[in-house]
Amino acid sequence: MNTLYLGTNTKMYKTTAQTVAYLQALDAYTSDISRHGVELFVIPSYTSLHAARMCVPSDRISLGAQNMGWEAQGQYTGEISPLMLREAGVQIVEIGHSERRHVLHETDEEENRKVLCALAHGFRPLLCIGETQDQKLFGIGEEVLRIQLKIGLYGMPSEQAERLMVAYEPVWAIGEKGVPATPEYAEKMHRVIRETLQTRFGACATHIPILYGGSVNEENCEALCALSNVDGLFVGRAAWEADRFDRIIRKTIARWREEGRL
């Protein structure tokens, strides 16, 4: 059975009250959508996680954290530990979003520590990777993806591969100035990711969800989700109003049904 993953990270937007209102609206909009073969997830701010968990059950909408410290506890002022996220009821931990890497200067080695820590504490790590505009220009985009995967997943046993999720989010495609990847380009890069995962984990890699993210919207969601190595979409701005996200969810599910993937 295939699973279609559709999620959003609300970044540093939405207070707790706004997150709760958003989740309640999204749950209401999507109440008639079967979750059989479909997983919806929302990754809100840390401060709203507890209230978010209280307002929507995890079998309707999974919750993720936008980041995580790599130790259970210690002298790491400002960090949030896996124990705290467990208490908040989180299932997914997003690791290495482009803004963490390029604005906050996180390294592949740090993302690797977080991936291993997330797995050790029973979460599903959602490792985000993607090349910058310059790396694309220099023709090293594929190498960058391989490096981010090889370092980011270093030391991870194959038995844990079934809990891993990967998001391909080209840095040049993200945000207000972003240009979405063409379906052809996205498919090429998703194939590189799949092959790298296969080299690393063997047959288990077939089941690792690879999501596309970067300026996904109502117009391009169907073409992007229809690609053979795309297992879902990781949406930013176009998902932050519940009715718009609901439309993307419905279009995407319909496309997967047409393709016989659901």
Cβ atoms of residues 257 and 40 within 8 Å: no
Least CB distance to ligand PGA at residue 167 (A) = 7
Q: Which amino acid is at 227?
A: L
236 binds ligand PGA (CB under 6 A): yes
Q: Kindly state the DSSP code that residue 243 receives in the 8-state scheme.
A: H
The structure tokens listed for 75 are: 């002298």
Specify the 3-state DSSP secondary structure of 208.
coil
169 binds ligand PGA (CB under 6 A): yes
Cβ atoms of residues 48 and 15 within 8 Å: yes
List 6's β-bridge partners, or say none.
40, 233
131 binds ligand PGA (CB under 6 A): no
Site stretch for ligand PGA (CB under 6 A), options 17-25, 49-57, 139-147, 174-182: 174-182
Cβ distance to ligand PGA smaller for residue 154 or 185: 185
Q: What are phi and psi of 209, to 5 degrees?
A: -70, 130
Give the integer Cα–Cα distance in Å for 142 and 126: 19
235 binds ligand PGA (CB under 6 A): yes
207 is catalytic: no
Cβ distance to ligand PGA smaller for residue 41 or 234: 234
Least CB distance to ligand PGA at residue 65 (A) = 14
Q: Interface residues with ligand PGA (CB under 6 A)?
A: 9, 169, 174-175, 178, 213-216, 234-238
What positions carry a catalytic annotation? 97, 169
